Chains A and B, each alone.
Chain A
Amino acid sequence: MRILRRLALRLGQAIPVILVVAVLTFFLMHLLPGDPASVIAGPEAGAEAVERIRHQLGLDRSIPEQLLLWLWHLAQGDFGTSIILNQSVLQAMGERLPVTVSLTLVSFAMTIPIGIVLGVVAAKFRNTWLDSAVMFTALVGVSVPGFWIAILSVILFSVTLGWLPASGYVPMSEGVWPWLKALLQPGAMLALFQIGFLARMTRSATLDVLDQDYIRTARAKGVSEWSTIAKHAFRNTLIPVVTATGIILSLLMGGSVVIEQVFALPGVGRLIVQAILTRDYPVVQGALLILAFLFVGINLLVDIIYTWVDPRVRYG
């Protein structure tokens, strides 16, 4: 019951956050100069053509009127209709979410084991060449611009070696291997940054635990070193690691913007970028709101995992 109450409380706290996100996004988009009607009318159209389109789209109404109308529709579950794509925001998100979720999952599946193993190895071999090598690799992963490394990767793996496709997405319904093949390269590029972040985080958490008395006790009673780390140290590093994992999952979803653009993956990130560029107000507003819901959901999931990992949270 306590867990349920806690979750209900967190959900309640999320509602004003989401409302603020909604209103802020609306105003930020409308503060931007530019006009979706000009995008639709094309670069060679004059003011008259643009005005006709503005009227058709209802963009000639006052900003408060547009905001109230949007919120009113939102309250009824209507996220609006894309100005440019001519489809509902929910449909647009529904078509693109599987791509972004697939990319996130593939990337997540690479990030977690590699990041954690690298972090634990670095901690175990603290201040040795191995530690330095792992931390240097992590530093490179965190520092290298994703856009640049992604293009280099395409030139190497797609053009020179011809192992992986340069762009595009294949749905899982067309086969698991084609799906995975399309996502391996973008997934790895997206994971690079997060692996570095997680490895540093895990190393730090493991080092804290390895200095604890109960580790010394385990070693003193003759438990093997790897068994000490796996059974006694690792579980106690999990709280900060789980926190980092939740953040990583959110960052992977949000960080897919650049990678989706480079690899021409029709996901949520690219949808939002294109919508910003074309001032497709309903898509940006609706998509960010849905992402806000997702991030709140991820945070709740992390809360639930806490209670499983650490009984003190459950009974505290």
Chain B
Amino acid sequence: MTTVAIAAAGLIASGGEALAQKKGGNYVFANVSAVGTMDPHAAAAVVDLEAIHHVFEGLVEMGEDYGAKPMLASKVDISPDGRTFTFTLRKGVKFHNGKEMTTTDVMASFERYKKVSPNAPALGDVASMEAPDAYTFVIKLNKPNSLFVEVMKTPTYSFSIVPSELKDQPGRELEPIGTGPFQVGEWRKDSHLLLKRFDGYVADESAKGPDGYAGKKTVWLDTLRYNSVPEANTRIAALQSGGADFIATIPGDLAKRLQGRTDVKVMSVIPFCQATFITHAKNPPMSTNRNLRQAIAALIDADEMMSAAGQVWEANPSLMFKPSYYHSDVGQPWYDLHSVDKAKALLKAGNYNGEKVVLETNNNYAYMRDSSQVLVEQMKKAGINVELKMVDWTTNQADLSKGTGGWNMTITGLCSGPLLGPQQWRLSLAFAQNPDDPVVTEGYAKMFATTDAAERKKIWGGIEKYFLEEGYMMKIADIADLRGMNDKYVGIKPYYMQRFWDVWAK
């Protein structure tokens, strides 16, 4: 049996800080939009998820290193054949309504997940779920999946545990009662969400301190308020004038407005997402001409594209972020070549005859718009007949996920897959509209079947190489998210989605 042990993150405060820890403070976070749903099983937007993970917890959560860590479970035992997962629950954990969490709630939560979550197919291989006693929960799979615990750590469509009495509530309409360190106070849709410290919170005392979304969480703040401030200039003004303690997503060109001030600072979270062009695998001419795809990939100039948008970025040839175990250099031969000559040679070898290529982009994200415009100019230089189709983000997103809109290539920002591992990538690989490609289906089957981590990494490397070499995905760069904060509080640390436990007033 393999046991996933609790690992402390080593992020507990230093002695000096610890002495200063005190309860109190009403923290204000000015975010880019309002919290739309507090249903962890159905939420996918980062704005929703940031609040959700303060209120709800799962059996496992992602740790500081973005790997799976037990949270409501004290340990997870995995059978040698990779088919049976036994979760031992922590005892005495309370929901915000005062009820103790047991396997009845765990069972109900997984049943609800299967009914309402868009990610329900992730449980497609579950043969049975059993609760032999109040603190033991067993999941058996039809076929081995050594990454099943990793699947369960996902912050998107989170496998959070909710009280069993809520199991029939429809998707996105769940009453927000969890086991998290904060509970919902006032929620005014489209305006603000006020979270209060949950004084009945039962922390994981076996951990030394907070560990990503797992570990021992301590809430010092009295309240945490999420305000919706969509306009970036206003968010910055709110931070400067004391109307907010923390602000999300500062555009690169506006960050300099905060320079020179000692009471506020800009925090860069990198890697946050990766900017990537996606090729439609079913729309000619790009679907039928491998050389054309490779020629376009050879034109990508990461520096020029990112600089055009004033984006903070890092070069990285991999579809995985650098901290990931799965990061490798398999993509290096096709990365950041910025060579018109190479592109021309490939076009000639592929007998490209001026067939039109449609590049769809959006005007909501500067780095997507500007990268696309730079690439279009490069494509024209290489002699490619290209049409730039500018739409809004909602249209772009729908066209990308459904394959509609007549595009040959488009651009997006991929965030959780590169951070969390191959299991999280599975949905996004379908963007190229070839989810039934045997390289993907057989690769994943093999990856799930093996318990050898090195073998899994090798198989993922093969899938990654296939997508990059074939030009189905063209990586540009890893990009940062800039956030601003004042100096009145201690304990804020950069993380993919911001956390406010273990944060206290000076």
Contacts from A to B (Cβ < 8 Å) = 32-35, 37-50, 52-53, 56, 84-87, 92, 95-96, 151, 154-155, 158-159, 162, 165-169, 261-264, 266, 270-271, 274, 277-279
Contacts and interface: CB of A to CB of B under 8 A. Distances in A.
Interface in B402-421: 402-403, 405, 412-417
Contacts of A165: 241, 243
Contact of A159 (B119, B188, B228, B237): B237
A266 B228 contact: yes
A87 B42 CA distance: 16
Given A44-B44, A279-B394, 15 more contacts: A34-B397, A35-B398, A38-B394, A40-B42, A41-B401, A45-B44, A151-B234, A155-B233, A159-B237, A159-B241, A167-B229, A168-B229, A266-B228, A270-B190, A271-B190
12 contacts: A32-B395, A37-B398, A42-B45, A45-B44, A45-B119, A45-B427, A52-B120, A84-B36, A87-B189, A159-B237, A167-B30, A266-B192
B397 A166 contact: no
A306 B238 CA distance: 44
B401 A154 contact: no
A264 B323 CA distance: 37
A40 B402 contact: no
B394 A278 contact: yes
B326 to A, nearest CB: 17
A29 to B, nearest CB: 12
A86 B37 contact: yes
Contacts of A270: 190, 230
A264 B227 contact: yes
B391 A33 contact: yes
B402 to A, nearest CB: 5
Interface in B99-124: 118-121
B452 interface: no
Given A53-B118, A261-B230, A262-B231, A92 B44 contact: no
B334 to A, nearest CB: 23
Scoring A39, A41, A48 by chain B CB atoms within 10 A of each residue's CB, the highest score goes to: A41
A171 to B, nearest CB: 10
Interface string B156-191: 100000000000000111000000000000001111
A87 to B, nearest CB: 6
Scoring B30, B191, B415 by chain A CB atoms within 10 A of each residue's CB, the highest score goes to: B191
Contacts of A168: 227, 229, 238, 243
Given A42-B45, A44-B416, A167 B243 contact: yes
Interface in B201-219: none
Contact of A264 (B171, B234, B414): B234
Contacts of B173: 86
A172 to B, nearest CB: 15
Given A47-B430, A261-B231, A274-B33, A155 B399 contact: no
B355 interface: no
B394 A166 contact: no
Contacts of A86: 36-37, 172-173
B236 to A, nearest CB: 8
Scoring B189, B240, B401, B416 by chain A CB atoms within 10 A of each residue's CB, the highest score goes to: B401
A169 B412 CA distance: 34
A46 B391 contact: no
Nearest to B46: A42
Contacts of B33: 274
Nearest to A161: B241
B67 interface: no
A155 B120 CA distance: 47
Given A44-B415, A167-B30, A50 B398 contact: yes
Contact of A35 (B37, B118, B394, B403): B394
B130 interface: no
B237 A42 contact: no
B398 A96 contact: no
Nearest to B417: A44
Nearest to B37: A86
A263 B235 CA distance: 9
A96 B189 CA distance: 10
B227 A96 contact: no
Scoring B36, B120, B392 by chain A CB atoms within 10 A of each residue's CB, the highest score goes to: B36
Given A33-B405, A165-B243, A49 B228 contact: no
B435 interface: yes
Contact of B234 (A37, A44, A154, A278): A154
Interface in B1-58: 30, 33-34, 36-37, 42, 44-45
A141 B369 CA distance: 33
Contact of A45 (B189, B230, B243, B401): B401
Contacts of A266: 34, 188, 190-192, 228
Given A151-B233, A262-B234, A169 B189 contact: no
Given A87-B189, A264-B231, A47 B401 contact: yes
Nearest to B228: A264
A158 B394 contact: no
B44 A166 contact: no
B428 interface: yes
Given A33-B391, A95-B189, A96-B190, A38 B230 contact: no
A263 B403 CA distance: 37
A43 B231 CA distance: 21
A34 B229 contact: no
Contacts of B188: 95, 266
B448 interface: no
Contact of B233 (A49, A56, A154): A154
